Amino acid sequence: MELGIFSRTYEVQNIKEIYNRMKTHALRITQFNLSSAGLPTLPEKLDEQKIMEIKELSRQYGIQLVALSGTFNMISPDESIRQQSCKQFETQCKIAKLLDIPIVTLCTGSRNPDSQWHWHDDNRKPEAWDDLRRSTETILRYAEDNGIILGVEPEVSNVVCTPKLARKYLDETGSEHLKIVMDGANLFRLSQVSEMEHVLREAFILLGKDIVLAHAKDFSVDKNLSFVPAGKGILDFKLYLQLLKQTGYDGPIVMHGLSEDQVPDSRDFLKGVLAYV
């Protein structure tokens, strides 16, 4: 397993500068966001010349693009937004194919009208699940046409908010083009922190065979749960990485949820843990 990083960690829209900073941090793997190249994260149109420039620069700098961010709200309460985003996702899959990126990452979304990253009780309604299935059916066609895997994270704020629901989602969809992005920090509600080992082990029992990408961020607890860089919180990274290894996963561990100046500490922390698992 090798460490990588979200390209948006580097808050510039210049690929050469991003890649130079990655090399300074001894990193050569990234989950790429098109905004790092000055494009919309989910473009409406395919700019093939720009995409080929990205591909060539990645080759020149020796940077491996292991996933492409394709996040949109798959159960947005606004149907027109869902439809437009699904349409744009066809372009995203074509871009991933041109860049030789095997995975496009997603979140399943929330009924929250203000943010797909915040919970809404309507996420529990059957209508939300139905909308998720409809969005999934649409974008899966684009993924299958382009040979792309869709990587979905279970997240407590989203409609797929538990490993059990993620298992249900994969089984109901029944496609080899839909897999899991595992992020240990995203599995926990405040009430579950005291059951850390159980929560992590259950997640890997249910989803381990379908993991195609792993993320590394941490969380801390005060009155609420908040995300912090890996090594600055309480997530049991030794167990998390052991469980990843036990599934047979040997792919990238992608750091995120941190600022550029926090990269060296998190990188060194994770390398230290990886040396003992």
Annotated domain spans of the chain? 2-274
The pLDDT of 233-238, averaged and rounded, is 97
Q: What is the pTM of this model?
A: 0.94
CA nearest 119: which of 221, 214, 224, 31? 224
CATH number corresponding to 2-274: 3.20.20.150
Condensed to tens digits (0 to 9), the pLDDT of residues 169-178 reads: 999 999 999 9
pLDDT at res. 224: 86
Condensed to tens digits (0 to 9), the pLDDT of residues 67-97 reads: 999 999 999 999 999 999 999 999 999 999 9
CA nearest 256: which of 236, 213, 276, 227? 227
Mean pLDDT of the chain: 95
DSSP-assigned states of every residue in the chain: -EEEEEGGGS--S-HHHHHHHHHHTT--EEEE-GGGGTS-SS-SS--HHHHHHHHHHHHHHT-EEEEEEEEEETT-S-HHHHHHHHHHHHHHHHHHHHTT--EEEEE---S-SS-TTS--GGGGSHHHHHHHHHHHHHHHHHHHHHT-EEEEE--TTSSS-SHHHHHHHHHHH--TTEEEEEEGGGG--GGGGGGHHHHHHHHHHHHGGGEEEEEE-EEEESSSEEEE-TTSS---HHHHHHHHHHTT--SEEEE-SS-GGGHHHHHHHHHHHHTT-
